[in-house]
Structure 1
Amino acid sequence: MLQVTNIAVMKRVAVCTCCKRFMLRNKQLSSNSLTVFLLFMVATLLFGCSSMKEAELLSQNNLLQEKNSQLAAELAEENVVTASLQMKLVEKQTEIDRIKVTQEHLAQEISQTKARKPAPKTRVEVVTYLAEVETDSNAAKERALDSEQPIFVQVDRFIAESKVELERGNDEAAYSRASQAMELTQTIQNKRALSKKMEESPYADFILPLNLHLAKRSNIRKEPSERGKVLGTLTPGTPVTASGSQGDWIKVMINNGQKGWIHYSLLAVPEKTLPVCKPVK
């Protein structure tokens, strides 16, 4: 900066010296020629001042860009930390909610176990129990999700084996197979009750929108539920903006403006990317 100023001062001195010498040697010049010469000298001085001002502005601009780059880097790092903490908070809150719901179901199961009838002793009781198991299984199967289909295949197999054992006159084995089918059916029903409880959790806005991306291939749904209507399918790495959560579901918006819900386990916090500001030449 000091060098630029010295150069400008030297230019002014040189111009003034040149002007003085010219005036001494050319006293007889016409007024028009003198005017043109003076205008030329003034323009030269102004050009020198303009160059100095331009250099000063460029220097200030580079300093501002460097400062802006530093601030952008700090902001990017803080955003990553904020997103990571928010997702951990969602995960921990989900675990707490699951524990509470599981405790409620355990209490219900203990109560049901105490009131449960003893194992059937007669053939008629086994047949009646098998009919109850099959009825419960068919009722649960009507609302089955794709992820539940393999379990219902096992349920159907146990029921079929129970009927075979009945035909063979092996009532104890028939009851055992029917009990296995009932346990699997109750497992599905308990899982559904847990999911429903999570879906009924209150919605909470995030303090700041979070920049996340898909960790796995995922459906974006209209409602925060596995039964929610599928609005589309997103590939791994797709960026999304998260605005809030409900249970273990995150409300997001994708680049085309579409909004929906994605399960929190399918989202991840991207690594921070720092902008690079190059100085103006």
Structure 2
Amino acid sequence: MLAAIQPINPIAIELGGLQVHWYGVIIGLGALLGLWIAVRESIRRGMHKDTFVDLVLFAIPIAIICARLYYVAFQWDYYSQNPAMIPQIWQGGLAIHGGLIGAVATGVIFARVKKISFWKLADIAAPSIILGQAIGRWGNFINQEAFGGPVTRGFLEGLFIPEFIINQMYIDGQYYHPTFLYESLWNFAGFALLIFLRRVNLKRGELFLSYVIWYSIGRYFIEGMRTDSLMLTADLRIAQVISIVLILIAAGLIFYRRKSGLANKRYLDSDKE
């Protein structure tokens, strides 16, 4: 029976020589849904309706490029021997931390050019970012990547997850932890938390920094279960190190901005920015 289990076809549409992969479709869906939510919220916060549309025209491609370069840099032994594989992002290999670096840098520059508060932009975007990450992990599911260590079928059945997930976790004759699912659920919970925190009316910037802390906590523990981590040394997983650094930086910024008076506005404050 096990030999009959077939993985999901990673190609969503094939027309002649054109192939559209589920990986790209799912990431695109997450980006579009996140954009829709951000645009609606930005209008409520008194910003022009095209602000986030203009931002993502730069932020998304730059984030994808940075996510890929980040991944390739830490897998250079392979890609230096296979340079033709570098642009093939549909095969997987987008590092979220690299994407965040690119997106945040783009947001900072965009905010300065448009004379908009970066922290206001970041707070509005935070729920959309983590929602996009929650959806995007299902692209890893289709590609059968970002999984954890070996488990039994009985263990997966004990999680009460759908049959199609259990079958997709059967890879090369072995079942594996669906760590993509753990992180997706953690991120969906984070999305709900951030939507709630909008009503709490935190100081400006703290919604985004709360996202950084929430995501990083989950990523740290889930990364420890994965078998395909990018490694800094033989014992140090890059994503875990970055997660700890981000938690410390985000918590430090919340404390510093409150003590210094830089966080002088709140999320729901109305202004002319």
Please indicate the TM-score interval, normalised by the length of the shorter structure. Answer: under 0.3
Normalising by the residue count of structure 2, what TM-score does the alignment of the two structures yield? 0.25
Larger radius of gyration: 1
Normalising by the residue count of structure 1, what TM-score does the alignment of the two structures yield? 0.25
